[in-house]
Amino acid sequence: MKILILCTGNSCRSQMAHGFLESFDKRLTVRSAGTEASGKLNARAVAAMKEIGIDISHHVSDSVDKYVDEEWDYVITVCSGANENCPVFPGKVNRRLHIGFDDPSHATGTDEFIRSEFVRVREEIKSAFCKLYKEEIMPKKTIGFFEKYLTVWVALGILVGIGIGHFVGDGIEVISGLEISRVNIPVAILIWLMIYPMMLQVDFGSIKKIGKKPKAVVWTLIINWAIKPFTMAFFAWIFFDKLYAAWIDPELAGEYIAGAIILGAAPCTAMVFVWSYLTDGDPNYTLVQVSVNDLIILVLFIPIVGLLLGITDVIIPYDTLVASVVIFVVVPLVAGVITQRILLHRRGIKWFREVFLPRLKPVSVVALLVTLVLLFAFQGQNILSNPLIILLAAVPLVIQTYFIFFLAWFGGRKLKLSHAVCSPAAMIGASNFFELAVAVAIALFGLQSPAALVTVVGVLVEVPVMLSLVAFANRNRY
């Protein structure tokens, strides 16, 4: 999209508006010009923009004549109609707008007063152009059919699974008994099929870019590994051990807490790309953040889960935990890297991203839904005897999601992270790698365990909660 911003001198207001639009969306082609171009930028305007992290010092003050022969989607005049004549653009334009602002370069008085006028006009320009961008210019993002209705598919999987469990009865034990070292073979295959496509997207080369914006990656790691697992354990303990004591057997409360801890220790890998896209996040930097977290999982997931389960007095077989991480993280990660390198070498990155990955996606979708059906078939009798448990399990998970998101969001803004980086960073912290959590919970506690049930409830509530956070991020774009 091409946008031309006009005023008279093209040294102040139009330049600030130009800078804001480019900061909102780097895909826009934005130019500014004036009917009586001064040939240089106003130093106070440059300084005012630099205060909020936008550098316009490289802009050039151009004459409108330079752009007359081009076609524009928008031409926006920013002069104040009361005191000056707004430029008339004779070229071809799809939409003309006028958004008037006072010219702060005409301010007189003390240096402090003049500076305050530049700040005032800057904030007025930011507010007006942000509103324009969100309401008219910003491309309307859409979510894929499966992702959009994931909660519906999960709910259907739950109903089908519970129905199978009810009508088949003890016959379901035949499948649940297919285990090796406490790992159920059918479920392990299904979960591997879910995780492998995600690992194909890990780009180790992108990790080299950390040095360009280390602050955002460090903040993501602090949220995901120093805060999130511990707050999840806290909320789970408060609800399952204390507030729910009247509804949950104290002997089972520990396993519900364990499921929440496992879920909280696994930061999102795949769905975060969807959330980043919907909030106009930087896709390349999102990939960096996800790739780093995937590698950190290899190092920190086991000790953090072991530590928190130990604190909550849950006995944990470390050999099973280590085996789970190897089976469900290391093996698909290695397989994904090998597959990625072979296909990139033979077919190229365009084919890999636009043909291969979309073709593989249904495999992951089907595996997820079949896994949910099996899990709830195994859990069917427990749920029918206590249907309230799904609602009870959802409450601390929802509270944790909102808490971590807002902590990451406002902390990122305090650190002066751009919207395109802060938004996906907050989304990564808020959402979970539920495929890994489900796999580990099953391996440690069994298919019919409360821990496995909690991780699946996490899948159920994640999409509607995350979509509400996407809406919040888009409403509060900065």
Six token digits for residue 158: 């739950």
CA distances (Å), 291 to each of 189, 204, 233, 269, 405, in order?
23, 7, 25, 8, 20
- Cβ partners under 8 Å of residue 173, min gap 6: none
Which member of 12, 79, 130, 268 is catalytic? Answer: 79
Tokens at residue 273, please? 């790309």
Give how far Cα 266 sits from Cα of 6, 93, 274, 396, Å: 50, 50, 17, 16
Q: Which of 7, 12, 130, 422 is catalytic?
A: 7
- CA atoms of 313 and 315, how far apart (whole Å): 6
- Give the residue ranges of DSSP H helices in 169-282: 173-176, 185-199, 214-221, 228-236, 250-264, 271-278
> Nearest to residue 267, comparing CAs of 221, 325, 234, 299?
221
Instruction: Give Cβ neighbours of residue 303 (< 8 Å, ≥ 6 apart).
Output: none
Amino acid in position 410: F
SS3 208: helix
Helix (H) or strand (E) run with residue 73 in it: strand 72-77
Q: Is the CB of residue 62 less than 8 Å from the CB of residue 37?
A: yes
Those residues with Cβ within 8 angstroms of residue 155's Cβ, 6 or more apart along the chain or in another chain = 460
In our burial notation (b when 16+ CB lie closer than 10 A, e otherwise), range 404-437 reads bbebbbebbeeeebbbbbbbbbbbbbbbbbbbbb
* Residue 268 bears catalytic tag: no
Strand partners, 72: 93
Query: Alpha-carbon distance 15 to 125, whole Å?
Result: 10
User: Is 86 one of the annotated active-site residues of the chain?
Assistant: yes
* Residues tagged active-site: 7, 79, 86
